[in-house]
Amino acid sequence: GYGGWQGFKSVFSGGGGIIYAITQDGNLLWYKDSTRNGTGEVANPKLIGRGGWQGYKNVLSSGDGNIYAITQDGNLLWYKDTQRNGTGEVDNS
């Protein structure tokens, strides 16, 4: 099925069929739409960010693994999903 997405705090595209989702408890998940033609199912999330992501005012991606987070006090932070395949965690170094 295609249900269950309403439970996320936030969902945004990473480009190239990658979808990032933030859970209510602050984990960042990676999904992949392998077919990208409406015939496949997006499933089997991978945990790439542990906790804390729910505290950001907004999180978005410009593609190519770049993830931007806006803090509650207005700072813009940069993170990188270097692998872009669901392995490894994002970092900001």
pLDDT of residue 43: 83
pTM for the full predicted model: 0.92
On the question of pLDDT at 2 being above 70, the answer is: no
pLDDT over 90 percentage in the chain = 80
**Segment 30-54, tens digit of pLDDT:** 999 989 898 888 889 999 999 999 9
What residues have CB less than 8 Å from 51, skipping those under 6 apart?
25, 26, 27
Side-chain-side CA neighbours of 54 within 13 Å: the count stands at 10
Q: Are 28 and 53 in contact (CB under 8 A)?
A: yes
